[in-house]
């Protein structure tokens, strides 16, 4: 089971966050077709489920893993016994996850954990039909992926409109915990903008709607039957603390994956070191966006688009939902004097240049996937 530990600076009641994996894999899916608003009343959730559940699917995956005993030198088999001779070099690891359809032609959103290294993906619809899934795009940095199946006329879900999600509003989760497909649970949004070690680029929704291994990738719905989040992780040592990727992040990433098969992530082209002065620019990539904007090593970044920044994650999130070519107002301090520059975001290179000094700090590039 994939685990991510909180940093020592995070004062959380939970100590470990566990991705919602069943059998070593994770699952998920999203959607984009109109779902009619559900009238409020004693059967609100039942009516919502009747409309939304047909778009939620089950993903079974098979991954090929190297057998650590398979490559033993024949010399050692004499010590282990003849039954160890001819051990297979690989074994299959099975997993189950959730997902939901966003296009009636068979486009499904799920977690990257579900599809990563999968040799085979079987998608099962609520009506029992099964299809072989094909990955058409994935983004490790936000744990999202798109899977396609050869089907038509499927039920779909849609992303919630751009409105503020409020703490305390009712939500419904649908998925396949422990492989139990079309399982429905309900709760509330417990908190917003949670930092979870799984991803520095995502400010997660927190919910107390019960979710378990296998739920990952399933939709978190508001009472209008719209997707407001994608269930992704739970606090391993807690009850009723789960985390979902917010719709704003999912909408941008899914659009990129759908068009290009990858996320063309915006890039500032600078390296940051956190010291007593704040977010100090330790190095600027030659001919990169920051260099073209006139940012110099030694400058201290104060604000992006009028919002104060005090950590590298603030920078990642400030530009995370922007696109290549967008202009960003950067307020900085240079030798104690405040300046404001306009930076045009570039395309992040596949492997951003590392700073020459190991002490220079991490770049505004994504962390390596675990």
* Alpha-carbon gap, residue 61 to 22, rounded angstroms: 10
In this structure, are residues 20 and 26 in contact, taking their beta carbons and an 8 Å threshold? yes
Copy the structure tokens of residue 210. 């019960």
- What is the C-alpha separation between 102 and 111, in angstroms, rounded? 14
Residue 283 forms beta bridges with which residues?
271
Q: Are 230 and 220 in contact (CB under 8 A)?
A: yes
Annotated catalytic residue, options 22, 112, 113, 139: 113
Strand partners, 97: 59
Catalytic one among 98, 195, 199, 216?
Answer: 216
Are the C-beta atoms of residues 79 and 26 closer than 8 Å to each other? no
Do residues 181 and 126 make contact, with C-beta atoms less than 8 angstroms apart?
A: yes
Distances (CA, A) of 264 to 227, 249, 252, 327: 24, 14, 10, 16
CA angle, 303 then 143 then 285, to 5°: 45
Query: What token pair was written down for 105?
Result: 């032609």
Query: Would strands 337-344 and 327-334 be described as parallel, antiparallel, or unpaired?
Result: antiparallel
For residue 19, give both structure tokens.
Answer: 């991705």
Q: Which of 143, 208, 299, 364 is catalytic?
A: 143
35 touches 47 (CB < 8 A): no
Q: Count Cβ atoms below 10 Å from residue 187 Cβ, excluding itself.
A: 17
Is 216 in the active site? yes
**In this structure, are residues 227 and 158 in contact, taking their beta carbons and an 8 Å threshold?**
yes
Which of 102, 109, 166, 172 lies closest to 136, judged by CA? 109
- The two three-digit tokens of residue 250, written as one number: 């999912």
- The helix/strand/coil state of 76 is helix
CA distances from 174 to 105, 225, 333, 352 (A): 21, 11, 48, 38
- Told to judge if 143 belongs to the known catalytic residues of this protein, a careful annotator would answer yes
Residue found by looking up tokens 């603030």 in the block? 314
> Could you list the active site residues?
113, 143, 216
């Amino acid at each position: 089971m994939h685990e991510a530990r909180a940093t020592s600076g995070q004062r959380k009641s939970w100590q470990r966050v566990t991705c919602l994996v069943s059998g070593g894999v994770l699952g998920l899916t999203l959607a984009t077709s109109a779902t009619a608003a559900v009238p409020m009343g004693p059967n609100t959730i039942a009516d919502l489920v009747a409309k939304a559940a047909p778009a939620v699917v089950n993903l079974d995956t098979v991954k090929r893993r190297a057998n650590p005993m398979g490559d033993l030198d024949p010399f050692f088999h004499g010590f282990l016994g003849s039954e160890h001779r001819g051990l297979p070099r690989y074994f299959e690891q099975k997993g189950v996850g959730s997902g939901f359809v966003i296009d009636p032609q068979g486009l499904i959103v799920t977690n990257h954990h579900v599809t990563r290294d999968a040799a085979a993906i079987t998608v099962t619809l609520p009506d029992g039909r099964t299809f072989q899934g094909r990955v058409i795009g994935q983004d490790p940095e936000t744990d999202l992926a798109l899977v396609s199946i050869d089907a038509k006329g499927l039920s779909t879900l849609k992303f919630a409109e751009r409105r503020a999600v409020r703490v305390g509003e009712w939500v419904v989760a649908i998925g396949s915990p422990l492989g139990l497909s079309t399982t429905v649970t309900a709760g509330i949004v417990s908190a917003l903008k949670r930092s979870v070690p799984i991803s520095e680029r995502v400010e997660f929704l927190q919910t107390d709607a019960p979710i378990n291994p296998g739920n990952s990738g399933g939709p978190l719905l508001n009472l209008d039957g719209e997707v407001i989040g994608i269930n992704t992780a739970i606090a391993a040592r807690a009850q009723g603390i789960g985390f979902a990727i917010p719709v704003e992040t999912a909408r941008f990433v899914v659009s990129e994956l759908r068009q290009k098969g990858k996320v063309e992530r915006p890039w500032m082209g600078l390296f940051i070191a956190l010291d007593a002065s704040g977010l100090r620019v330790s190095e600027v990539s030659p001919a990169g966006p920051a260099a073209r904007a006139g940012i110099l090593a030694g400058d201290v970044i104060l604000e992006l688009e009028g919002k104060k920044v005090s950590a590298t994650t603030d920078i990642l999130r400030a530009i995370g939902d922007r696109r290549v070519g967008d202009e960003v107002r950067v307020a900085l301090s240079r030798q104690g004097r405040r300046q404001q520059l306009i930076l045009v975001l570039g395309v992040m290179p596949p492997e951003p240049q590392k700073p020459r000094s190991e002490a220079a700090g991490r770049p505004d590039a994504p962390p390596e996937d675990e």
